[in-house]
Copies of this chain bind each other. A is one copy, B any other.
Amino acid sequence: MRLARPLEKLIDELLKLPGIGPKSAQRLALFILKMEPSEVRRLAAAMIEAREKVFPCSRCGNLTDQDPCWVCADEKRDESVICVVEEAGDVMSIERTGYRGLYYVLNQEPHLMEEGALEKLKLAGLLDMVDKGRVKEIILATNPTVDGELVARYIAGMVKAKGVKITRPAHGLPVGGDIEYSDALTLRKALEGRQEI
């Protein structure tokens, strides 16, 4: 199929984005052609600006445009709890729960099949925070996957000696979920973790 060259180029670029297949790319491209030119420029500028100005916080690894990030800089946050997560997107999700402690973002996809992958995790910053003394609990909120579980255990092993409480978010049924359709492992965890009401 032939297309106007700039349209074809735009579709090709959009196809590189995650979750955007040929149909979505075409729909997005056609939508962009109908947008006000000023809006297109604003969208384009927002992309470039975000890429240029946002970087990982030097203390916790959270995405920020100022160093330290707004979580680390906020004196009202509870410095006795650190929540370790895999990615900055996880911070956004946990913030929505009302969590008020600090974070430590690994910012690394550990390829656990690779030799020495766990040893490559950058944990110096986390150990630093623990050594400075105020930390009482570390919540290991890596994903509830095999890899996330292994990373959590590895980190737990590194920190245990420092006498800090180490926790992991509970497994169980998602709120609004359906017992009939929940997988056996989740359901077993939910039953094991049952609570009196």
Residues of A bordering B, CB below 8 Å: 1-7, 9-10, 12-14, 16-19, 24, 26-33, 35, 37, 39-54, 63-66, 69-70, 87-89, 92, 95-96
Contacts and interface: CB of A to CB of B under 8 A. Distances in A.
A110 B5 CA distance: 29
Chain A interface mostly: helix
Leading 9 A-B pairs by shortest Cβ distance: A44-B44, A10-B50, A4-B65, A6-B50, A40-B51, A13-B46, A10-B46, A13-B43, A6-B53
Contacts of A46: 6, 9-10, 12-13
Contacts of A16: 39, 43
A48 B10 CA distance: 9
Contacts of A28: 17-19
A40 B48 CA distance: 6
A164 B26 CA distance: 33
Indicate the member of A4, A9, A19 with the most B CB atoms within 10 Å: A4
A12 B5 CA distance: 28
Nearest to A43: B13
A55 to B, nearest CB: 9
A42 B14 CA distance: 10
